[in-house]
Amino acid sequence: MTPSETRAIVSLSLLAAFVDGDKHERERAEIKRIAEGLSQADGVNLPMLYQDVLMKRVSLASVAGELKSADARQLAYEMAVCVCDADGTQSDAERAFLSDARTSLGLDAASATQFSQQAEAIAAVPLAAPVAATAVATTATAAATPATPAVDSAALDQSILNAAILNGALELLPETLSTMAIIPLQMKLVYRIGKAHGYELDSGHVKDFLATVGVGLTSQYLEQAGRKLLGGLLGKVGGGLLGGLGKQAVSSGMSFVSTYALGHVAKRYYAGGRTLSTQMLKEAFSGLTQEAQGLQTRYLPAMQEKARTLDAGKVLSMVRGA
């Protein structure tokens, strides 16, 4: 893939991120931070691309014109779909944008629609669906102000570690849908931790919790996919997985780290009766992120082994908990 095609793919992803005009300022700031953090990678000036999109100096037509190969056009569309679905199912504006993108990129309507439906299916999976990787044993019943249930702390710690290893493994896979699956699995982890402590949460509460500690939905997907794209991993097939197992440094295991920290912050928050302030949550998440970074190398072999058992065909069933 040429540098111009890489720039075009990133530009299309940024266009998709802002197409509905409904991004919270917090999320916009995260996307800007990511662009600055990945600046000048492989000759791609992401801060400039970010500004070009915000200032409307690029268009869908101009971006599509830079994508010469069929593989680049397909990957660009897939990333745009996943960006639109990262924070939930597509809005009307996002559906219209993706339809225009499919036409501008000259993609086969049937295969493009099939991919979009797969992404929508992942985004729409309810929180209550059981997820084996984050299963938590609990006898608690749903209640607005629950009695303190019996919680097996060691089992909960193991479920958090299992979820972090699984998401770290997904980060090693080259498929765009594998990257997208990380976010709903993190949301399910928080849901099940809350449930273990007697809280029945909805998706709005879980999204707010992630945003409070600093885990954006759209921005996290952009960062994960962007690092894989710039590292030459995203979109590869065949030998892509084996090559990816040696490229953990591309993304520094951010999915393992963020999932581990998120799970343990949620455990403290719900075990303490949801009394931690926003500042306390942010500080706890920051400290646990550092702890998780220290564990990353230790658990990398487990992530690699898990990645060898996964493929794109298993992603949806895995998110559903089948």
Radius of gyration (C-alpha) of the chain in whole angstroms: 19
Sign of the CA dihedral with 47 first, then 58, 42, and 260 last: positive
Predicted pLDDT at 241: 41
DSSP 102: H
**Residue closest to 170 by CA, chosen among 283, 256, 108, 297:** 256
Q: How many CB atoms within 10 Å of residue 138?
A: 18
Mean pLDDT of 208-232: 83
**Domain annotation for the chain: domains and CATH numbers:** 3-121 (1.10.3680), 125-320 (no CATH)
Q: What's the mean per-residue pLDDT of the chain?
A: 82
Distance in angstroms (rounded) separating the CA atoms of residues 26 and 12: 21
Distance in angstroms (rounded) separating the CA atoms of residues 81 and 78: 5
Predicted pLDDT at 38: 63
DSSP 274: S
Name the residue with tokens 């220290």. 294
- Enter the pTM of the model: 0.82
Helix, strand or coil, per DSSP, at residue 138: strand
Q: How confident is the model at residue 266 (pLDDT cuts 50, 70, 90)?
A: very high
- pLDDT tens figures, 77-120: 999 999 999 888 888 999 999 999 999 999 999 999 999 998 99
Predicted pLDDT at 254: 86
Mean pLDDT of 157-177: 91
